[in-house]
Amino acid sequence: MDPIIILQAGVASGTVLLFATIGEIFAERSGVLNLGVEGMMLMGAMSAFSVTVATGNGWLGLLVAMLMAGLLAILHGIVTIHFQADQVVSGLALTFLGTGLSLVFGEGLSKAGTITLLPRFTVPLLSAIPVVGPIFFTDQSVMVYVGFAMLPLVWFYINRTRPGLHLRAIGENPTAADAMGLNVYQLRYFYVFLGGMLAGLAGGTISLAISPGWFSELTTSGQGWIAVGLVIFAQWDPWRAAFGSYAFGALRRAILDIQGPTTLFGFNNPFYYNPYYGFFMQMLPYAFTIIVLIIGSRQALRQRLGAPAALGLPYVRGERGH
């Protein structure tokens, strides 16, 4: 077990969670809870891989993945924003829809053969920094660096710009935002669509860069649900989302690596000799996600954590504000 390799792999796989989590932060900041991240990621992964197989162009595959997942998110928007349906029910239905569509359209895609993956490269000078360089800037996919660049931009947009102020306003008090002249419906549609596109980007990053290929629903392996839990863990903040995403990525890699050696610190490795310990360890990220979701379902505690006040509540113009 090499800690540097575990952390390096954690940053790579954590980038997938980062894209999905930031997308969900945008949607929830606008007041719309979207539990369909897993389904949108699967559609993104399938679309990206399928288009890349057909055209040989991974960037075109990523673009199509984002659009397909964004269109799924628009369905959620129509149901919850226009028809004011329950956001939890609609999000769960979206997961089932996205999973079903990806399995149908991805039938036989796992035998499509190899494709040209998105490029990987090492950043000169930065890669020479002790410890930090090998983890963050050595032989990483271009999508990892896209994640690095996205983080400060998203934080600045949400906290330091006028559109970011409008985003927070429609999530906190849509009635007051409407009175200020903001089009609450239009803005919520936009951010739900943006969140869907980022979930599609996360799915495409898996199939074209991090774990290349299409492996049906195992392609995402529940990472969409982890991303939903990470939003609460991160308290709707992009920097905390990055920390959580990379930590989860490193944990998932460490769980695999710890089962390899026959000894640990001079003792027999129980994870090597008894596979059930390994199964238990692999369960931990998902158990943590369930705990976080249970905590997040409690309205009072959720607001104490900093959730948007109008999250999950439909907005109807003319009715008493939330």
Q: How far apart are CA 228 and CA 41, in angstroms?
A: 12
Mean predicted confidence (pLDDT) in 193-204: 97
How does residue 99 score in pLDDT terms, banded at 50, 70 and 90?
A: very high
**Is the pLDDT confidence value at 299 over 70?**
no
Contact between 29 and 89 under an 8 Å Cβ cutoff? The reply is no
What SS3 class is residue 267? strand
Confidence at residue 243, expressed as pLDDT on a 0 to 100 scale: 94
Q: What integer pLDDT is reported at residue 289 of this predicted model?
A: 75
**Among candidates 199, 271, 214, 281, which has minimal Cα distance to 18?**
199
Angle at 203 between CA 200 and CA 207, to 5 degrees: 135
The answer, yes or no, to whether residue 321 has pLDDT greater than 70, is no
Question: 286-296 as b/e, with b when 16 or more CB fall inside 10 Å?
Answer: eebbeebeeeb
pLDDT digits (tens, 9 = 90+) for 8-59: 999 999 999 999 999 999 999 999 999 999 999 999 999 999 999 999 999 9
Separation of first and last alpha carbons in the chain:
52
The pLDDT tens digits of the residues spanning 229-282 come to: 899 889 899 999 999 999 989 988 888 787 777 777 777 777 777 777 777 777
Per-residue pLDDT averaged across 282-307, rounded? 74
Is there a contact between 15 and 205 (Cβ–Cβ < 8 Å)?
A: yes
Q: What is the mean pLDDT of residues 200-226?
A: 92
